[in-house]
Structure 1
Amino acid sequence: MAAMEWFTPWFPASGYGLSRLVLQRALAGVYLVAFLSAALQFRALLGERGLVPAAAFTRRVPFRASPSLFHWRCGDRFTGACAWAGAALAAAVVAGAADAVPLWASMVLWALLWFLYLSFVNVGQIFYGFGWESLLLESGFLAIFLGNAQTSPPVLTLWLMRWLLFRVEFGAGLIKWRGDACWRNLTCLYYHHETQPMPGPLSWFFHHLPRRMHRMEVAANHVAQLVVPFGLFFPQPVATIAAGLIIVTQLWLVLSGNFSWLNWLTIVLALSAVDPSPATGTSSYGPTPLWFAVVVCLATVLIVVLSWWPARNLLSRTQQMNRSFNSLHLVNTYGAFGSVTRVRHEIVLEGTDEEQVTPGTVWREYDFKGKPGNVRRLPRQFAPYHLRLDWQMWFAALSPAYTRGWFEPFVSRLLENDPATVRLLHTNPFPQQPPTHVRALLYRYRFTTREERRETGAWWHRTFEREFLPPVALSGNSDGRHRW
C-alpha cells in the first residue's frame, strides 16, 4: 500500500477510470477477434487432420514446457468448443460483464480468457509463433489485476502496462536501428509498403508517396519508437502526450498494412498512460480491498523479477525479436522488421482436373483471402483479424525452409478438396471434384506504376521466375500418401 501511495501524487489512479474502462473493453475486443480466428482456422491448421496437428505436439512436449488445456483433450470438438467459449466470454466482457460482477469474479473472467488463449498459443506451433500472440497474453495477464468499476484502477498495474508498451515500442525501434542499414539511411519504406507480409487497400497508395515522404516516415518512426516511449514515465500531461503520439503512429501503420492485432493492441496499451480527468473529472471509488492490493503487489513483484531477461535483451547487441522467456508468456521481448526485403515473391498454387499433365494442360489458380494473387484484386483489409495461412505463405516465398512440416500436408488437403482447408482460401477452382494434380509456381510481384494502373486496371504486376513445386497427385496407396 505504501508503494501505491508513493506513486499517487504523480498518477492519481482515481483519474484513470475512463481510460481503464475503454482499455478493458478494447482488450476484450482483441480477445474476441483472436478467439474467432481460432474458431474458424484452428481445425484446418492444427486439428485432428490439420497441417501440423496439435495432438501430435502434445504427445511429444510435456505440459510444464507448454502449459495448455489441450494436453488433457485435443479433439476437434473440444478445441472448437473452447474457441467459441472464449469468443462468447470475450463478447460478454466487451458488453460489460466484468464490471457487473464482484471484483473477485471479474478477475476470474479475465483469468479464464488468459488461460484459454494460452492453451491455443502453446500448442499452435508455427501458426501461433507471432509476437502479437505473446503480446495479447501478457496484456491479458495484466488485465487480471486492473480491477473493475468497483475499485480505483491500481497504479502499479497501470505502470506495468506502460512498461509493457515501452518494451513493445523501444524494442521495435532498437531492432530496426541495429538491423537493416536502410533504417539508418531512411530508405526502408522505398520497399516495405510493397514487400510487407500482407498489404492493405491503401498500401499501393502509400508505396507511391514521394521518396522524401518515405524518408520522413522512417525518421518519424525512429522518434516514435526510440524517444517518445520514455515520455510514458513522466508526470502528466507528458505521459498522455507520449501515449497520443504512439496512438497516431499506430493508426498510420493500421492504414498502411495488415499486421493482425499488433497495432490495435499497442493502441489499447497506450490508454494506460492517458489521463482523461482534466476533461471528465475524477471518479470516486470505495476503499481498495486489502486482499486485492496484496495480490496486485505480488503480481508486480513477479513481473519485475521476470523483466530482467527482456530488459537485458533490450541492451544486448544480439537483441532477439518476439521471444518468450517463460512458458506462460508473462514477460516477453518484441520487435519487427529488423530487416526489410527488397523484392516481393509470391507462391501461386494451381490445380488441374486433367488425368495427364502435358504442355497444353489447363491450370486453374487458387486465390487466397489476403495475400496477393490475382493482380487485379485490390488488397483487402483484414486486420485485426489474423489470416494465419496467408502469413505463412509469405514466409514460404522467402525460403523453402519455412515450408517444413506444413506445406506438403497443405497440398495434400487441396488434392482431397478438404472442406476445412479450402475454407481458408478466397476461391476454390474445383468446387465439385478435387483436382487431379496441384503445382506451385514462384512469381515476382511488384505494385504497378500509376501509368500501368490506368492502362490495365491491375494493382500488381507479376513475372514468372521458376517452378516452386512440380505437379503432384494422389498416389494409389491405401495410406493416402502422395506421389511427389
Structure 2
Amino acid sequence: MDWFTVSDYWLGRLLFQRALAGVYLLAFLGAALQFRALIGERGMLPVPRFTGRTGFRRAPSLFQLHYSDRFFAGCAWTGAALAAALLAGVGDLLPLGASMLLWAAVWALYLSIVNVGQTWYGFGWETLLLEAGFLAVFLGNDETGPPLLVLVLLRWLLFRVEFGAGLIKWRGDACWRKLTCLDHHHETQPMPGPLSRAFHHLPKPVHRVEVAANHLTQLVVPVLLFTPQPVAGCAAALMIATQLWLVLSGNFAWLNWLTIVLALPALDLGRFTGGHRDPGAPLWFEVLVLAVTAGLLALSYRPARNLLSRRQLMNTSYDPLRLVNSYGAFGSVTRQRQEVVVEGTSDSRPREESDWRAYEFRGKPGDPRRRPRQFAPYHLRLDWMMWFVGLSPAYARPWFGAFLQRLLQGDRDTLRLLRTVPFPSGSPPRYVRARLYRYRFSTRRELRETGEWWQRAFVRDYWPPTRLDGAGEPRS
C-alpha cells in the first residue's frame, strides 16, 4: 500500500528507537541493582509471596512460572544487554522479523518485572515505557519505511500523556486554576534536584507564567499534534522545550525524558534531511500492523472515556499487558514538605538523649546541609516511596516495618540502597526509630549564614523505637 509507510520520518524513527533503547537500558539497570532489597526472595515485598496470591492472568510475567533471585538478575541483565544492543543500532542490522523479535523480547522482559514489582513499580512512567516499547515493535527498521499508523499511535500516546496531565491539574487542585501551584511545588515535589531551590525562589510572577505556560502546553498544544506539518512538528518541539524545563527543576525518573522521546517522531525533520530510501513493507508486516492498530484503537476506548470523565483517573492500566493506559501527575500539590528521618542507636535502652544516628538516603532530603543531587533519569525507588511515607502512614504500611527490620539486621542489600549508613553491616543498631520533620528551602541569607540548604522543624514521632525480638521480628 502506497500510503502505508512515510519516508520523511525515517530520522524521527531512528532517534525514537535509539533513545527509547537508552531508557530501557536505565530501567533494566535500576531493576538489576535494586531488586534484592525491594522484591527479592528476602526483600520487603517478595515476589514469591505476590505470585502466590496473584495469578498469571492478572499479572502475566515470567516470574509467575519460576522465581529465584538469580533468575530475576539474569532477566534484568539480559534486558540491559538487549537494550544496549538496540541502542547501538543492532535492530537496523537484522532482518525485519528478527528486529521485531528483539524489541518484543525487551518489552516482555520489562513487563515481567513491572507486573511483579508491586508498590515499587506503581509509577506512571513504568506503563508509559511499556506502551511506547510495544509500539516500537511495529515501527520497523531500515528494511521498511516508518508505518504511518504506528506514527499516529505514537502521537495518540503523547497526546494522552500531555492532555491527561493537563486535565488532571485543571480539574484538581484549585491552585492550578489560580496559577499559584508553583509557589509550593518546586519545594514539595518528591525529589528536588540541584536547581529546585533556585526555581522555588523565583519571583511569584514568574511562577504564574510557568503555570500558564504549562496549561498551554498540556491543554492546547497536544491537539496540534494531529495537524499537518510544520504545525505538528512545532507542537512537538514546544513539548520538548517544556519537558527540558521540568528536567532542570526536579528529579522525575525517566518521565520527562521519555515524553521527549515520544515527541521525536512528530518533529518535521524531513524538510531538513531530504528524502530517504523507502523500500516499502512486506505484506505480512502490513497485515500485522493493521491488526495491531485495530486492537489498540479498540483498547483506547476506556482511556479516551477517562479523559472526558469528571472522575478522571491518573496512571491507570486497563489490561494486564498495559497496552493502552491513562496518565497524569500532580492533580494536587502539597503546601508543606514532610520528611521521615530514620535513626538508629546502639544503646541498650532507647532514650531521647541516646546517641541517635541518622541513615541518609541517596536522593531524599535528610541532612539539611546536603544540597539536592541530580539522579533522573535513573529511578531511586526507595527514595521516591519515602516521599509518599511522609504524606501518609498508609503508604508505609505494606513495607516500612520490613525496611526497619532489615536495618536492624544489617541487611547488605538494603544498606546498598542508602547513601550513608551510620552502623556497619556487621554491627547493626539495637534500636531504630523514625521521626517526622517539616522541611523548607533555606532563604539566601540562611544558606549564606548556616550553609544549610534546608531548614527543618520536628513535627512528631513517626515510628517508636523498635528492636528485634528473639525470632528476629521487629518489636517496639
Structure-1-length-normalised TM-score: 0.97
Give the equivalent residue in structure 2 for 1:445: 439
Give the equivalent residue in structure 1 for 2:474: 482
Give the equivalent residue in structure 1 for 2:448: 454
| Pair 1:99 & 2:92 matched | yes
Secondary structure of residue in 2 paired with 1:442: strand
Deviation at 1:149, TM superposition (A): 1.3
| Pair 1:156 & 2:149 matched | yes
- Tell me which amino acid in the other structure corresponds to 1:444: R
Deviation at 1:29, TM superposition (A): 0.3
CA deviations 1:180-207 (Å, max 9, x no partner) are 0000000000000000000001000000
- Tell me which amino acid in the other structure corresponds to 1:197: P
Q: 1:275 aligns with which of 262, 265, 268?
A: 268
Q: How far apart are the structure 2 equivalents of 1:383 and 1:358?
A: 39
Q: How far apart are the structure 1 equivalents of 2:280 and 2:430?
A: 70
Conserved 8 A contact 2:404-2:474: no
Q: How far apart are the structure 2 equivalents of 1:381 and 1:35?
A: 19
Deviation at 1:287, TM superposition (A): 2.6
Answer with 186-195 or 400-409: which moved more.
Answer: 400-409
Give the equivalent residue in structure 2 for 1:338: 331
Secondary structure of residue in 2 paired with 1:147: coil
Q: How far apart are the structure 1 equivalents of 2:344 and 2:379?
A: 26
Q: Structure 1 pair 336/359, CA: closer, same or farther in 2 (3 Å)?
A: closer
Give the equivalent residue in structure 1 for 2:464: 470
Answer with 272-281 or 228-237: which moved more.
Answer: 272-281
Q: 2:50 aligns with which of 54, 57, 62?
A: 57
Give the equivalent residue in structure 2 for 1:33: 26
Deviation at 1:453, TM superposition (A): 0.8
Conserved 8 A contact 2:20-2:258: yes
Give the equivalent residue in structure 2 for 1:120: 113
- Tell me which amino acid in the other structure corresponds to 2:455: H
Q: 2:235 aligns with which of 204, 223, 242?
A: 242
CA deviations 1:127-167 (Å, max 9, x no partner) are 10010000000000000000011110001000000000000
Secondary structure of residue in 2 paired with 1:270: helix
Answer with 19-28 or 286-295: which moved more.
Answer: 286-295
- Tell me which amino acid in the other structure corresponds to 2:276: S
- 1:188-199 paired onto structure 2 within 5 Å: 188-199=181-192
Deviation at 1:234, TM superposition (A): 0.4
Q: 1:358 aligns with which of 335, 351, 361?
A: 351
Secondary structure of residue in 1 paired with 2:460: strand
Q: How far apart are the structure 1 equivalents of 2:82 and 2:281?
A: 26
Conserved 8 A contact 2:363-2:373: yes
Q: 2:15 aligns with which of 22, 27, 41?
A: 22
Q: 2:408 aligns with which of 410, 415, 429?
A: 415
Q: How far apart are the structure 1 equivalents of 2:355 and 2:347?
A: 8
Q: How far apart are the structure 1 equivalents of 2:352 and 2:88?
A: 59
Deviation at 1:354, TM superposition (A): 1.4
Conserved 8 A contact 2:437-2:456: yes
Deviation at 1:73, TM superposition (A): 1.1
Secondary structure of residue in 2 paired with 1:434: coil
Deviation at 1:288, TM superposition (A): 1.1
Q: How far apart are the structure 2 equivalents of 1:346 and 1:334?
A: 26
Secondary structure of residue in 1 paired with 2:57: helix
Answer with 215-224 or 69-78: which moved more.
Answer: 69-78
Q: 1:205 aligns with which of 188, 198, 222?
A: 198
- Tell me which amino acid in the other structure corresponds to 1:309: R
Give the equivalent residue in structure 2 for 1:218: 211
Unaligned runs of 5+ in 1: 6-11
Secondary structure of residue in 2 paired with 1:458: coil
Give the equivalent residue in structure 2 for 1:8: none
Q: What is the identity percentage for the equivalent residue pairs of Structure 1 and Structure 2?
A: 65
Give the equivalent residue in structure 2 for 1:258: 251
Structure-2-length-normalised TM-score: 0.99
Secondary structure of residue in 2 paired with 1:339: coil
| Pair 1:386 & 2:358 matched | no
Deviation at 1:275, TM superposition (A): 2.1
Secondary structure of residue in 1 paired with 2:310: coil
Q: Once superposed, which parts of structure 1, at least 4 consecutive aligned residues long, lie more than 4 Å away?
A: none
Give the equivalent residue in structure 2 for 1:400: 393
Q: How far apart are the structure 2 equivalents of 1:155 and 1:120?
A: 31
CA RMSD between the two structures: 0.9
Q: How far apart are the structure 1 equivalents of 2:268 and 2:95?
A: 25
Conserved 8 A contact 2:123-2:315: yes
